[in-house]
């Protein structure tokens, strides 16, 4: 049993994984992720890839909303910027997917920072409405600037290639997506070990004190918008390359709400929570669909009500989370870990 | 375990007694309420200046003007930096004033509630951290070295304030007295040239007050940090301050050493009925 965690050097004390248990858990997780595509069938690979893209997007949103406390309903719009930038650069100019993806991240970061300007004056619900306006403006531009985006018509994006290899299967995409998800997770965790991340959290917890400690609110809020949007743009760009097709319907305000639910359910201000939330919100609908299909043979009428039941269960789960575990799945996971760390002395 | 302080806590290199801050004819009103009326005062390196006065006298408003949270309608505030330059700070933003070396605590604790004690102190050292965004994202080289270096510095403050056992705790979960101590620590992590403390002992029991007074004296005597202290406990004020400024209804009604202020008839008048026994206690 451990009564606490002690280290002899600050470097060890400030390491990411500080205990053996943590290191072992991390290694097991990585082994699982590496073995998964070899054993999973196509259906599960598709789900895993969707979770991976959602994880990147959720990490992005969590940087802004969870860590910095700036509620955003612009997620769908920012993903659209990423998807269209990547899609157009590859489809029209023939850029390699990785170049267009990076360009999409940077473009989204810039647009995100631009729409972050009102955050200096607006807080809470007012900011949420301002970001909702960003969402609607972006989608309006996307659907109306026909010469550039093709308007409401779908934009077809060719398959990416890497080292002469076509990335055209879920198996191959899996590596690309999860590698990038890993990069986004690691750099975000790192960011919050330094003064940049602390400044974000300080702004969320007590913005007046933060400013009196020397934190330039405007600069750091815009930076939070930019870094957040960088990853959100990446999620959009990967969606474009993965689906080979970009349509505006994939980036409506529903998506913004879905992602907000993801970070709330997963855990605000947590990278692992972003992953949990992304997994949960991607897998729950899939699970409900499968359940419906299984029930259909015995209860044929289920088929017609399934979509409604799905929506209701979805909403119900979110409400239950908000009531019973406002700190999200991350907290549940932490409680489990703590239980075993101190086991059998739970007090 | 006690170890020597290995880091510089005071970022000012002025000589003790040098003029460090001058407040000139400050007037601040909120609608009809005169919070400050023609206030002037001077602050010298390495002194402890107490600001006293009944509730609503304008003490907090004065600190808010100095740290840039309020902007007075009239008057000027000058900060005399050690490079010999005189900065007018009256209209600067708070973060800018912080960067000049003016740190503070708040009357109603304003900590970063969801951060650990350690991270609150590390956040306090924000203005001294310079690693760029990219090296922070990969946490390699400069960024990592800098974080470890400041961790050492912050540990010195943790030793000084005797909060070793709670360093990993979330501050929101701490008892009130400890939160006050952490808030002092966060301000110290800025390596302040001037430290503004707004009622750091309010709501504390005698023992906690004694501890806090000892910390304040340590910071002032060992490190030479200039301190402006708002405090209601006259015993403490008379004991530890070099000079006292008395405010009442936004006006300065007295100024001087503790002994001079104690004899000041106007001050005695203002305090009549409030805390007079403590006040005239010898
Ligand atoms: N932000 C504000 N808005 C309106 N009135 C204020 C504000 N801050 C202070 N005041 C008023 O200014 C006067 C001085 O307040 P304050 O500086 O807090 O006094 P003290 O700290 O000496 O108790 C009070 O009458 C108070 O109501
Ligand atoms: Mg006050």
Contacts of A31 (CB under 8 A, 6+ apart): none
Report CB contact under 8 Å: B95, A10.
Answer: no
A197 contacts on B by Cβ (under 8 Å): 136
Residue A155: which H helix or E strand, with range?
strand A155-156
In this structure, is residue B79 part of a structural domain?
Answer: yes
pLDDT average, residue stretch B173-192: 96
Report CB contact under 8 Å: A205, B138.
Answer: no
Complex confidence, ipTM: 0.92
Interchain contact B107–A (C-beta under 8 A): no
Interchain contact B133–A (C-beta under 8 A): yes
Please determine, for residue A135, whether its predicted confidence score (pLDDT) is greater than 50: yes
Chain B's closest residue to A16, CA to CA, is B139
d(CA A222, CA A250): 26
Please determine, for residue A298, whether its predicted confidence score (pLDDT) is greater than 90: no
DSSP A228-274: HHHHHHHHHHHHHHHHSEE-GGGGSHHHHHHHHHHHHHH-TT-HHHH
Neighbouring C-alpha atoms within 13 Å toward the C-beta of B61: 24
Report strand pairing: B33-44 vs A155-156.
Answer: unpaired
Of residues A100 and A149, which shows the higher confidence score? Answer: A100
Please determine, for residue A329, whether its predicted confidence score (pLDDT) is greater than 90: no
Residue whose Cα lies nearest atom 25 of ligand 1: it is B56
Lowest mean pLDDT, pick from A158-172, A328-342, B7-21, B206-220: A328-342
pLDDT of residue A315: 80
**Phi, psi at B102, each rounded to 5°:** -100, 115
Please tell me if the CB atom of residue B31 comes closer than 6 angstroms to any atom of ligand 1.
no
User: Average pLDDT over chain A, rounded to whole?
Assistant: 89
Out of B115, B119, B138, closest to residue A187 by CB = B138
pLDDT class of B5 with cuts at 50, 70, 90:
low
Please tell me if the CB atom of residue B54 comes closer than 6 angstroms to any atom of ligand 1.
no
Please determine, for residue A215, whether its predicted confidence score (pLDDT) is greater than 70: yes
Q: Which residues of A touch chain B, with CB atoms under 8 Å apart?
A: 10-11, 13-14, 187, 190-191, 193-199, 201-202, 204-206, 208-217, 223, 269
pLDDT class of B276 with cuts at 50, 70, 90:
low
In this structure, is residue B45 part of a structural domain?
Answer: yes
Chain A's closest residue to B190, CA to CA, is A213
Of residues A312 and A36, which shows the higher confidence score? Answer: A36
In this structure, is residue B151 part of a structural domain?
Answer: no
d(CA A29, CA B192): 45
Interchain contact B1–A (C-beta under 8 A): no
Nearest CA among B8, B42, B6 for reference residue B22: B42
Please determine, for residue A23, whether its predicted confidence score (pLDDT) is greater than 90: no
Please determine, for residue B230, whether its predicted confidence score (pLDDT) is greater than 60: yes
pLDDT of residue A166: 82
Q: Structural domain of residue A173, as residue ranges?
A: 38-342
pLDDT of residue A312: 84
State how many domains chain A has. Answer: 1
pLDDT of residue B274: 55
pLDDT of residue B1: 34
In this structure, is residue B248 part of a structural domain?
Answer: yes
Please tell me if the CB atom of residue B35 comes closer than 6 angstroms to any atom of ligand 1.
yes
Give, in degrees to the nearest 5, the angle at Cα A214 between A210 and A218. Answer: 70
The residues placing their C-beta within 5 Å of ligand 2, an ion, are B 60, 107
Chain B closest-CA separation from residue A36 CA (Å): 27
Tokens of A84: 């269209």
Please determine, for residue A218, whether its predicted confidence score (pLDDT) is greater than 90: yes
Please determine, for residue B226, whether its predicted confidence score (pLDDT) is greater than 60: yes
pLDDT average, residue stretch A18-44: 90
In this structure, is residue A10 part of a structural domain?
Answer: no
pLDDT average, residue stretch B114-136: 96
Report CB contact under 8 Å: B133, A213.
Answer: no
pLDDT average, residue stretch B247-252: 94
Q: Structural domain of residue B54, as residue ranges?
A: 19-113+191-280
Ligand number nearest to the C-alpha of B59: 1
Please determine, for residue B173, whether its predicted confidence score (pLDDT) is greater than 90: yes
Please determine, for residue A92, whether its predicted confidence score (pLDDT) is greater than 60: yes
Interchain contact B186–A (C-beta under 8 A): yes
Report CB contact under 8 Å: B123, A11.
Answer: no
pLDDT of residue B273: 53
pLDDT class of A343 with cuts at 50, 70, 90:
low
In this structure, is residue A19 part of a structural domain?
Answer: no
* Residue-wise pLDDT tens digits, A237-249: 999 999 999 999 9
pLDDT of residue A2: 47
Interchain contact B67–A (C-beta under 8 A): yes
d(CA B52, CA B244): 7
Report CB contact under 8 Å: B99, A214.
Answer: yes
* Best A18, A209, A231, A330 residue to mutate vs chain B (most B CBs within 10 Å): A209
B182 contacts on A by Cβ (under 8 Å): none
* Residue-wise pLDDT tens digits, A183-195: 999 999 999 999 9
Chain B closest-CA separation from residue A198 CA (Å): 6
Ligand number nearest to the C-alpha of B54: 1
B35 alpha carbon to ligand 1 midpoint, in Å? 6
pLDDT of residue A28: 93
Q: Is the distance from CB of A122 to CB of A70 less than 8 angstroms?
A: no
CATH number at residue B204: 3.40.50.300
Chain B's closest residue to A5, CA to CA, is B168
How many residue pairs bridge chain A and chain B with CB atoms within 8 Å of each other?
A: 106
In this structure, is residue B153 part of a structural domain?
Answer: no
* Residue-wise pLDDT tens digits, B8-34: 888 888 999 999 999 999 999 999 899
pLDDT average, residue stretch B67-88: 94
pLDDT of residue B4: 55
In this structure, is residue B255 part of a structural domain?
Answer: yes
pLDDT of residue A316: 85
Please tell me if the CB atom of residue B225 comes closer than 6 angstroms to any atom of ligand 1.
no
Q: What is the number of the ligand 1 atom nearest to the C-alpha of B63?
A: 17
Please determine, for residue B215, whether its predicted confidence score (pLDDT) is greater than 90: yes
B67 contacts on A by Cβ (under 8 Å): 212
pLDDT average, residue stretch A218-226: 97
| pTM of this prediction exceeds 0.95 | no
pLDDT of residue A105: 98
User: Average pLDDT over chain B, rounded to whole?
Assistant: 92
State how many domains chain B has. Answer: 1
Please determine, for residue A311, whether its predicted confidence score (pLDDT) is greater than 60: yes
pLDDT of residue B216: 97
CATH number at residue A323: 1.10.3470
pLDDT of residue A1: 41
Report CB contact under 8 Å: B115, A201.
Answer: yes
In this structure, is residue A3 part of a structural domain?
Answer: no
Please determine, for residue A347, whether its predicted confidence score (pLDDT) is greater than 50: no
- Is residue A338 helix, strand or coil? helix
d(CA B50, CA B240): 9
Please tell me if the CB atom of residue B71 comes closer than 6 angstroms to any atom of ligand 1.
no
In this structure, is residue A230 part of a structural domain?
Answer: yes
Tokens of B4: 């020597």
Please determine, for residue A280, whether its predicted confidence score (pLDDT) is greater than 60: yes
pLDDT of residue B112: 96
pLDDT class of B277 with cuts at 50, 70, 90:
low
Please tell me if the CB atom of residue B178 comes closer than 6 angstroms to any atom of ligand 1.
no
Residues forming a β-bridge with B19: B44
Tokens of A116: 């972050």
pLDDT of residue A7: 66
Residue A216: which H helix or E strand, with range?
none
Please determine, for residue A8, whether its predicted confidence score (pLDDT) is greater than 70: no
Tokens of B255: 């100024």
3-state secondary structure labels for all residues of chain B? CCCCCCCCCCCCCCCCCCEEEEEEEEEEEECCEEEEEEEEEEEECCCEEEEECCCCCCHHHHHHHHCCCCCCCEEEEEEECCCCCEEECCCCCHHHHHHHCEEECCCCCCCCCCCEHHHHHHHHCHHHCCCCHHHHHHCCCHHHHHHHHHHHHHHHHHHHCCCHHHCCCEHHHCCHHHHHHHHHHHHHCCCCCEEEEECCCCCCCHHHHHHHHHHHHHHHHHHCCEEEEECCCHHHHHHHCCEEEEEECCEEEEEECHHHHHHCHHHHHHHCCCCHHHHHCC
């Amino acid at each position: 049993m451990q009564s606490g965690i002690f280290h002899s050097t600050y470097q060890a004390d400030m390491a990411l994984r500080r205990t053996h248990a943590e290191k072992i858990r991390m290694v097991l997780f990585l082994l699982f992720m590496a073995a998964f595509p070899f054993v999973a069938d196509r259906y599960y690979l598709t789900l895993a890839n969707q979770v991976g893209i959602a994880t990147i997007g959720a990490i992005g949103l969590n940087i802004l909303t969870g860590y910095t406390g700036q509620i955003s309903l612009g997620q769908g719009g920012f993903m659209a910027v990423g998807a269209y930038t990547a899609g157009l650069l590859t489809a029209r100019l023939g850029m390699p997917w990785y170049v267009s993806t990076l360009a999409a991240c940077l473009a989204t970061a810039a647009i995100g920072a631009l729409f972050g300007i009102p955050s200096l004056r607006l807080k809470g619900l007012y900011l949420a409405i301002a970001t909702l306006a960003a969402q609607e403006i972006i989608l309006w531009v996307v659907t109306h600037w026909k010469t550039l985006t093709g308007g409401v018509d779908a934009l077809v994006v060719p398959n990416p290639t890497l080292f002469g290899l076509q990335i055209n299967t879920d198996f191959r995409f899996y590596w690309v997506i999860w590698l990038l998800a890993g990069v986004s997770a690691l750099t975000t965790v790192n960011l919050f070990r330094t003064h940049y991340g602390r400044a974000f959290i300080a702004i969320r917890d007590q913005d007046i004190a933060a400013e009196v400690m020397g934190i330039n609110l405007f600069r750091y809020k815009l930076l939070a918008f930019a870094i957040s949007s960088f990853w959100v743009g990446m999620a959009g760009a990967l969606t474009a390359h993965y689906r080979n097709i970009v349509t505006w319907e994939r980036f409506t305000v529903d998506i913004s709400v879905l992602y907000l639910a993801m970070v709330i359910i997963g855990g605000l201000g947590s990278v692992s929570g972003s992953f949990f939330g992304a997994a949960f919100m991607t897998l729950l609908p899939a699970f409900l669909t499968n359940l419906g299909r299984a029930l259909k043979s015995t209860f044929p009428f289920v088929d017609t009500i399934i979509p409604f039941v799905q929506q209701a269960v979805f909403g119900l789960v979110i409400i239950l989370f908000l009531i019973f575990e406002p700190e999200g799945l991350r907290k549940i996971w932490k409680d489990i870990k703590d239980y075993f760390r101190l086991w059998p002395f739970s007090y | 375990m006690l170890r020597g302080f290995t880091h510089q806590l005071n970022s000012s290199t002025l000589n003790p007694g040098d003029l460090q801050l001058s407040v000139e004819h400050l007037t601040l009103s909120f609608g009809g309420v005169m919070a400050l009326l023609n206030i002037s005062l001077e602050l010298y390196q390495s002194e402890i200046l107490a600001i006293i006065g009944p509730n609503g006298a304008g003490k907090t408003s004065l600190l808010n003007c100095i740290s840039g949270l309020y902007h007075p309608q009239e008057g000027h505030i000058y900060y005399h930096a050690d490079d010999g330059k005189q900065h007018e700070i009256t209209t600067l933003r708070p973060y800018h004033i912080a960067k000049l070396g003016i740190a503070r605590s708040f009357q109603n604790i304003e900590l970063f509630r969801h951060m650990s004690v350690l991270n609150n102190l590390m956040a306090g050292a924000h203005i001294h951290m310079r690693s760029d965004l990219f090296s922070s994202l990969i946490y390699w080289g400069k960024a990592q070295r800098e974080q470890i270096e400041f961790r050492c510095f912050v540990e010195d403050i943790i030793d000084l304030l005797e909060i070793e056992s709670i360093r990993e705790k979330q501050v929101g979960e701490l008892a009130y007295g400890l939160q006050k101590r952490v808030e002092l620590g966060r301000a110290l992590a800025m390596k302040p040239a001037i430290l503004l403390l707004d009622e750091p002992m309010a709501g504390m029991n005698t023992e906690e007050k004694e501890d806090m007074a000892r910390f304040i004296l340590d910071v002032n005597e060992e490190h030479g940090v200039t301190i402006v202290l708002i405090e209601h406990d006259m015993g403490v004020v008379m004991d530890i301050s070099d000079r006292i400024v008395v405010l009442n209804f936004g006006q300065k009604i007295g100024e001087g050493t503790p002994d001079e202020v104690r004899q000041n008839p106007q001050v005695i008048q203002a305090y009549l009925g409030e805390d007079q026994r403590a006040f005239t206690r010898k």
